[in-house]
Amino acid sequence: MTNLALIATLLMIMALAYHMGLTRSRAVAAEHDVRMHSRPGYYGALVALWCGLPALALFLLWSFLAPQLIEMLVTHQLPADMVAGMSDRELVTFLRRVTALANERSVSGGGTSEELAAAAHMARLQTFENLSLVALMAVFAVTGLVVARRNISPQWRARNQVERVITIALAASSGVAIFTTVGIVLSMLGETLKFFTFISPAEFFLGTTWNPRFSTSGTDAQGEFGLLPLLWGTMMVSAIALLVAIPVGLMTAIYMAEYAPPWLRNVAKPIIEILAGIPTIVYGFFALIVIGPFLSNVGDLIGINIRTTSALTAGLVMGIMIIPFVSSLSDDIITQVPKSLRDGALGLGATKSETIRQVVLPAALPGIVGAFLLAASRAIGETMIVVLAAGNNPVLHANPFEAVSTITVTIVNQLTGDMDFASPQSLVAFALGLTLFVITLGLNVIALIVVRKYRQQYE
Amino acid sequence: MNTSAHPNIPSSMVSVGGGESRKSKATGNVKMSAKDVKVFYGNTQAINGIDIDIYENEVLAFIGPSGCGKSTFLRCLNRMNDTIDICRVEGKIVLDDQDIYAPDRDVVLLRAQVGIVFQKPNPFPKSIYENIAYGPRLHGLAKRKAELDDVVESSLRRAGLWEEVKDRLDQPGTGLSGGQQQRLCIARTIAVSPDIILMDEPCSALDPIATGKVEQLIDELSESYTIVMVTHNMQQAARVADRTAFFHMGDLVEVDSTDTIFTNPQNQRTHDYITGRFG
């Protein structure tokens, strides 16, 4: 029985259990002519949970432990001198080949006789394991169902128990995101520390030259891993992007929140928000094919040498991309400013634009700054546009018309192609990733604090 | 001004202290006058043709049950209804012989002349000083910093708030208590030297002590300003108003001296309302 069919069956049994719990609770109520503690649906749900949860827990635990147990048994059964003659690494490879053979996948060389024998043994064990899992799950499910159904009585606080299970399920779901974040950070941290055994942190954070060379040329040909040119490129592109996005986005927000008639607002707001839904790779080749050449031509006209792929090209297009972030967040915040404040200013004889400039915007300022910071962290982490349009030139210079490279672009470069995860050339990607993570995390935290402070003001 | 005539708030409406001395004031010149004013929200008519004269330096109170149109009409008097998109005003409102709804009328100047204080205190999220200075700056009323300081001080003094805040003018106005905030808003309105002050239920968000202070302030202000106020509280109208107007379902049912309205109303609906039969 495949796992999918197993789970599907279990769900069907749970549905049945729900129904049985429901009818049983009604029967109990009718029999004793009393009011049950909870509505029948709660008894049904609780019986279903009693039936399903233990079986599901068994299934998860089993899927985690059984393969290891089987490998252990197979190893045990091998001739002792053969195991003793193999290094740990060879044993792992051997077991991997055996597992593949047991599951009827082909391996290179077709498998030796020892491997085939072990595979046959493993296949037998797997069949037995699978059958016993099905049997055990059935026992768990049926026991749970019977016990829970028998438990149904007017005093059983089914509603409270179901509520508790729901609370736990919700908490576990939020835990997924948090533990994933922690996991990502820890894995990056480990690799970063490995990188710092090759290159000292001072050399990485303060180095002004980025020239990692290739890992294939051997560890003796170590390059230079200076972060500063990349950080500078990131900052330059992001700054250009924000210079575009902040004024345009803010003015869009003011128009949408204060001036636009409702019908226009209803049409225009979704269209602006679509900008946020365009894949960034599309922005990337828009920059490469349209904006880059256009800027280059304009540069020729006025006598400035603008490269087709430059900080300016990438920054401009990225700015367009983050306009909706700025505008829709600011719009929400401006709309939240109480009408009574506007009335106060208008009642004193302020014009509409005076009211917005002198009362509404100052009141909304902390929230708007929060929106800017979120947009900035988005710009710093943006990858595809800069990969295509920034020109990949990791050199420290202050000319926005020249090509630059950013942290994100460099991570892509270091992790594509043929790589060896033990070389500093690949490991540096993790150090860069962690740096980026810390920068954007910092901006997000500041933004959240600022936004929260603003919220408190009107509560 | 005879505020000591009713030091205790009368609990019954009939005992209107000080009414006699106030009534004599309500015979001045007509300051503002409405002719057949109708207000629509979209297709719904909220006000059905109101005619009323407002005299100089009187305190005129609008009373009536919720939704009767008294606030809507009040907001017509300085065109605050312009800020509501679906609101449409018909008829004529004249201030000092000039139509305030005339096409060439500058609404900015109108609102400087007819100030408004709202139901809920709405100080700007700025310092106390900046709250008061906002209006004068807007209209260029003070040329130098010293002049502005004077305007701020005199406005706060008139609003009876100076002694309480003079040492913390640079602190946010939102940090004051509710009653202080409302008096700050009144001071803010006075600072642009209006002729008329509209008050839309100015005490409904305040506790009884703060209400007492604001009522006393209204009494004092009526020396120099014409005051039109909306109130839900009939005792409040009895205490502070020279004349009272009763609104019901978009109609101006009756307007007369406060004494007459509360002791001898001419209209059956007014009588039913003030004796608590509805509303």
Residue of B nearest to A349 (CA): B108
Residue of A nearest to B191 (CA): A348
Does A347 reach chain B within 8 Å, measured CB to CB?
A: yes
What pLDDT, on the 0 to 100 scale, is given for residue B11? 41
Identify from A336, A348, A353 which residue to disrupt to test chain B contact, counting B C-beta atoms within 10 A and taking the largest count. A348
What pLDDT, on the 0 to 100 scale, is given for residue A218? 52
Residues of B in contact with A262 (CB under 8 A): 85
Does B189 reach chain A within 8 Å, measured CB to CB?
A: yes
Is B124 within 8 Å of A359 when comparing Cβ atoms?
yes
Decide which of 2.40.30.10, 3.40.50.11440, 1.10.3720.10, 3.30.2310.20 is the CATH code for A215-457: 1.10.3720.10
| Domain coverage including residue B246 | 19-274
CB of A63 within 8 A of CB of A130? no
Does residue B188 fall inside a structural domain? yes
CB of A440 within 8 A of CB of A380? yes
Residues of B in contact with A344 (CB under 8 A): 118, 122-124, 185, 188
Does residue B1 fall inside a structural domain? no
Does B41 reach chain A within 8 Å, measured CB to CB?
A: no
CATH of the domain at B244: 3.40.50.300
Distances (CA, A) of A79 to A107, A117, A266, A440, B10: 22, 11, 76, 56, 107
Nearest Cβ partner of A349 from B83, B111, B174?
Answer: B111
Chain A closest-CA separation from residue B9 CA (Å): 30
User: Any idea where the domains of chain A sit in the sequence?
Assistant: 3-156, 215-457
What pLDDT, on the 0 to 100 scale, is given for residue A96? 84
DSSP per position, B70-137 = HHHHHHHTTTGGGGSTTEEEEEEEEETTEETTSTT--HHHHHHHEEEE-SS----SSBHHHHHHHHHH
Residues of B in contact with A343 (CB under 8 A): 80, 83, 116, 118, 122
Quick one: pLDDT band at residue B52, thresholds 50, 70, 90? very high
- Token pair, residue B167, equals 């040492």
Q: Is the ipTM of this complex over 0.85?
A: no
Residues of B in contact with A341 (CB under 8 A): 122, 124-125
Residue keyed to tokens 């302030």: B217
Does residue B142 fall inside a structural domain? yes
What pLDDT, on the 0 to 100 scale, is given for residue A214? 67
What pLDDT, on the 0 to 100 scale, is given for residue B132? 93
Does residue B41 fall inside a structural domain? yes
What pLDDT, on the 0 to 100 scale, is given for residue B12? 41
CB of A60 within 8 A of CB of A145? no
Distances (CA, A) of B12 to A31, A406, B17, B239, B258: 63, 78, 11, 11, 14
What pLDDT, on the 0 to 100 scale, is given for residue A448? 82
CB of B223 within 8 A of CB of B195? no
Looking at the structure of chain B, the number of domains it has is 1
Q: pLDDT tens digit string along B246-260?
A: 999 988 999 999 999
**Backbone phi and psi for residue B141, each to the nearest 5 degrees, phi listed first:** -80, -20
CB of A350 within 8 A of CB of A358? yes
What pLDDT, on the 0 to 100 scale, is given for residue B242? 93
State yes or no: pLDDT of B195 exceeds 70: yes
Is B139 within 8 Å of A338 when comparing Cβ atoms?
no
Please state, in angstroms and rounded to a whole number, the distance separating the CA atoms of residues A430 and A446.
Answer: 24
Q: Are strands A210-211 and A224-225 parallel, antiparallel or unpaired?
A: antiparallel
Tens-digit pLDDT string for chain A (459 aa): 578 888 999 999 999 999 999 999 999 888 888 888 888 899 999 999 999 999 999 999 998 898 888 888 888 888 877 777 787 778 888 888 888 888 877 777 777 888 888 888 888 888 898 899 999 999 999 999 999 988 888 888 889 999 999 999 999 999 999 999 899 999 899 989 988 988 888 888 988 888 887 655 555 556 788 899 999 999 999 999 999 999 999 999 999 999 999 899 999 988 988 888 899 999 998 999 999 999 999 999 998 888 888 999 999 999 999 999 899 989 988 998 888 899 999 999 899 999 999 999 988 888 888 889 889 988 998 888 998 888 888 888 888 888 899 999 999 988 887 777 778 888 889 999 999 999 988 988 888 887 777 665 554
Residues of A in contact with B139 (CB under 8 A): 349
Please state, in angstroms and rounded to a whole number, the distance separating the CA atoms of residues A102 and A95.
Answer: 10
Map chain A to HEC letters: CCHHHHHHHHHHHHHHHHHHHHHHHHHHHHHHCCCCCCCHHHHHHHHHHHHHHHHHHHHHHHHHHHHHHHHHHHHHHCCHHHHHCCCHHHHHHHHHHHHHHHCCCCCCCCCCHHHHHHHHHHHHHHHHHHHHHHHHHHHHHHHHHHHHHHHCCCCCCHHHHHHHHHHHHHHHHHHHHHHHHHHHHHHHHHHHHHHHHHCCHHHHHHCCCEECCCHHHCHHHCCEECCHHHHHHHHHHHHHHHHHHHHHHHHHHHHHHHHCCHHHHHHHHHHHHHHHHCCHHHHHHHHHHHHHHHHHHHHHHHCCCCCCCCHHHHHHHHHHHHHHHHHHHHHHHHHHCCHHHHHHHHHCCCCHHHHHHHHHHHHHHHHHHHHHHHHHHHHHHCCHHHHHHCECCCCCCCCCCCCECCHHHHHHHHHCCCCCCCCHHHHHHHHHHHHHHHHHHHHHHHHHHHHHHHHHHCC
CB of A330 within 8 A of CB of A250? yes
State yes or no: pLDDT of B22 exceeds 50: no
Greater model confidence, A333 or B8: A333
Is B83 within 8 Å of A341 when comparing Cβ atoms?
no
Closest among A87, A89, A122 to A104, alpha carbons compared = A122
Nearest Cβ partner of A343 from B80, B107, B192?
Answer: B80
Does B111 reach chain A within 8 Å, measured CB to CB?
A: yes
Residue keyed to tokens 């869009």: A252
State yes or no: pLDDT of B8 exceeds 50: no
Q: Residue B29's Cα: distance from chain center in Å?
A: 19
Is B116 within 8 Å of A338 when comparing Cβ atoms?
no
Largest CA distance in chain A: 98
- Residues A377-409 as b or e (16 or more Cβ within 10 Å = b): bbbbbbbbbbbbbbbbbbeeeeebebbbbbbbb
Does residue B175 fall inside a structural domain? yes
Nearest Cβ partner of A348 from B85, B126, B134?
Answer: B134
Question: Which residues is B34 bridged to in the sheet?
Answer: B52, B93
What pLDDT, on the 0 to 100 scale, is given for residue A36? 85
Is A347 within 8 Å of B192 when comparing Cβ atoms?
no
Nearest Cβ partner of B112 from A343, A345, A349?
Answer: A349
Does B260 reach chain A within 8 Å, measured CB to CB?
A: no
Question: Which residues is A404 bridged to in the sheet?
Answer: A391
Is A340 within 8 Å of B126 when comparing Cβ atoms?
no
Please state, in angstroms and rounded to a whole number, the distance separating the CA atoms of residues A403 and A399.
Answer: 8
